[in-house]
């Protein structure tokens, strides 16, 4: 392929990518999956060639690059990476979180709405990043000092940035112990011991996350725990997906 041919091809691909992105803007996308290794749609480690014809697996598909630049906060993944159960769960969790944000943001913008949204997502945010949990809390607390448009824009960016960080066993244990504190006065001695045993079994990778989550949901209903029953951490996506069933 001559230099001119390469240039013409690149220009055509870039023009096609721009047109396609404009079309996709109308679709209200909440996530996007790229094709692994594709010269146009590969998200990472795409084989590219230098001017001397030397191959390197350090490239990114032209469409993928343009798409990611245009939709920086949109959850994205490669089809091959979705075979990893942790990455798959994180990707789907981000999709549902973004969808909930958009539904809320489509309503009349107000400080009250964003405070309510933040409140029910606190523990879910914490499971991804304690730093973002604190930063978002400070941002909401300063809401009256910011213009409402600026508040929404800054919150969305930090919110989606938090969810781009993967939840881990250690982070989840921190949240589980935090939730246990809400039952100090309600649980019996045996119930407290059982709860701590279940959390520790998850910590030791002996049981999946769904086990302590199921027990917490039981206690939330049994003792009508007002704060926790609205937390999306306990139900971030449909249970039918079984994303928390892996050890």
**Domain range annotation of the chain:** 3-81, 84-163, 169-241
What's residue 14's pLDDT? 85
Q: Where are the alpha helices (DSSP H) in the chain?
A: 3-24, 62-70, 85-105, 111-128, 130-141, 148-163, 169-180, 189-203, 210-222, 226-229
Q: Which of 165, 191, 166, 175 is nearest to 231 (CA)?
A: 175
Nearest-Å Rg of the Cα atoms of the chain is: 22
Distances (CA, A) of 117 to 83, 100, 105, 152, 157: 31, 9, 10, 11, 15
Smallest CA-to-CA distance from 30 within 87, 78, 92, 108 is with 92
pLDDT of 166 = 95
Q: How far is Cα of residue 145 from the mean position of the Cα atoms in its chain?
A: 28
Query: What is the average pLDDT across 66-82?
Result: 92
Q: Among residues 163, 160, 152, which one has the least CA distance to residue 107? A: 152
Least confident span in 3-17, 157-171, 186-200: 3-17
With residue 78 as reference, give the H or E element that holds it: strand 76-78
For residue 237, the 8-state DSSP code is: S
pLDDT in tens, 81-133: 899 999 999 999 999 999 999 999 999 999 999 999 999 999 999 999 999 99
For position 13, what pLDDT does the model report? 81
Q: What is the average pLDDT score of the chain?
A: 90
Q: Which residues contact 48 (CB under 8 A, 6 or more apart)?
A: 55, 56, 58, 59
- Summarize pLDDT for 8-48 with one digit per residue, the tens: 667 888 888 899 999 999 999 999 999 887 777 777 655 55
Distance in Å from the first CA to the final CA of the chain: 50
Q: What is the pLDDT of residues 132-159, one digit of tens each?
A: 999 999 999 999 999 999 999 999 999 9
How many CB atoms are located within 10 Å of the residue 80 CB?
15
Question: If pLDDT is split at 50, 70 and 90, which confidence band does 49 have?
Answer: very low
């Amino acid at each position: 392929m001559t230099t001119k041919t390469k240039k013409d091809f690149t220009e055509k691909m870039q023009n096609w990518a721009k047109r396609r992105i404009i079309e996709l803007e109308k679709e209200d996308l909440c996530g996007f999956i790229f094709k692994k290794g594709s010269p146009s749609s590969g998200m990472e480690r795409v084989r590219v060639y230098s001017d001397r014809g030397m191959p390197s697996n350090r490239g990114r598909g032209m469409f993928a690059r343009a798409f990611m630049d245009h939709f920086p906060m949109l959850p994205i993944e490669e089809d091959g990476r979705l075979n990893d159960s942790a990455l798959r769960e994180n990707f789907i969790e981000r999709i549902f979180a973004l969808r909930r944000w958009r539904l809320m943001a489509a309503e009349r913008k107000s400080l009250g709405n964003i405070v309510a949204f933040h409140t029910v997502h606190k523990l879910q945010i914490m499971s991804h990043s304690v730093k973002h949990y604190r930063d978002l809390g400070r941002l909401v607390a300063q809401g009256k000092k910011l213009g409402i448009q600026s508040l929404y824009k800054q919150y969305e960016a930090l919110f989606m940035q938090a969810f781009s960080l993967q939840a881990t066993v250690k982070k989840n244990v921190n949240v589980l112990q935090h939730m246990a504190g809400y039952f100090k006065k309600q649980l019996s001695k045996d119930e407290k011991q059982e709860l701590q045993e279940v959390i520790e079994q998850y910590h030791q990778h002996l049981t999946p996350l769904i086990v302590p989550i199921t027990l917490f949901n039981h206690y939330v209903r049994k003792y009508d725990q007002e704060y926790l029953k609205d937390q999306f951490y306990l139900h971030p996506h449909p249970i039918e997906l079984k994303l928390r069933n892996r050890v």
